[in-house]
Amino acid sequence: MNLGLAGSVAVVVGGARGLGRAIASAFADEGCQVGVWDVSADVYAAATELCGTGWTVDVADPAAVRVAAAETWAKFGAVDHVVFAVGIGSGKFGFPFWELDPADWDRVLRVNLVGAAAVAHTFAPKLAERRRGTMLFLSSVAGQNGSQTDPPYSASKAGLINFAQCAAKDLAPFGVRVNCLCPGMVKTPLNRSVWQAWWDRQPPDARQEYDAWAAEKIAKLVPLNRWQTPEDIAAMAVFLASDRAANVTGQTVNVDGGYVMHW
């Protein structure tokens, strides 16, 4: 898109697969140097394809996050853009919520919310010192509408929106912008796992195959009546990192086909 990002450094956390991989690729296409973090060993192959550098990092481990951040900064000399594109679910169908166990919440919150805070803690001071840069957190439409499908996931993503607003206020005096990006219905392993958890709870005569289930959900909830794609999400991510979004901070941007509308 020629957004003027060439030569900058972008770190994509969760960049080995899914939406994170699409975002990392979009930054690379803009001429950025890309650092790819992921808990999966696939991170090295993904980074190689992008002519970038990969690190295996579990964001639920603050010490590992600090080490990776120091190595990333040493490798590139500076970091301009940080994208947190990590998200896990409980793996269970959470309706009604008391069918879950309180223990089902722990890992989801530690990865999706506390992990995001750990990443922000490591990068924010240096971004503030340089008085430039952006952070972007991938939340979800589920974080805005209280989705009953997976309450731990929904709550973690709602908390992420609130944290991004706090971070945006703290970093604004230093010229650093912070936003949230909320995907809608995208064909990702996480989306399919939501269907699988639903399927496992249904009697045989009520079950639908994945594509039929998703089509019905899209028809009911998405005014544009179509899937969103990883490329849709990635296009918005690089736009928000660019100077074309210079006055956009503390915002929750939905790329969801109209799923969430605020009146």
Residue 180 Cα distances to 17, 61, 73, 77, 233, angstroms: 19, 22, 23, 26, 11
State the pLDDT at residue 83: 98
Q: Which amino acid is at 139?
A: S
Active site residues: 153
Q: Are 193 and 89 in contact (CB under 8 A)?
A: yes
Q: How many CB atoms lie within 10 A of CB 96?
A: 8
Q: From CA 263, how far away is CA 136, in angstroms rounded?
A: 24
Q: From CA 199, how far away is CA 193, in angstroms rounded?
A: 10
Q: What fold, for 9-255? A: Rossmann fold (3.40.50)
Residue 27 Cα distances to 119, 133, 257, angstroms: 19, 14, 23
Q: What is the pLDDT along the chain (263 residues), one digit of tens a residue?
A: 789 999 999 999 999 999 999 999 999 999 999 999 999 999 999 999 999 999 999 999 999 999 999 999 999 999 999 999 999 988 777 678 888 888 989 999 999 999 999 999 999 999 999 999 999 999 999 899 877 788 999 999 999 999 999 999 999 999 999 999 999 989 887 778 777 877 887 888 888 998 888 888 889 889 999 999 999 999 999 999 999 999 999 999 999 999 998 75
Q: From CA 92, how far away is CA 223, in angstroms rounded?
A: 27
**Domain ranges in the chain?**
9-255
Distance of alpha carbon 108 from the chain centroid: 14
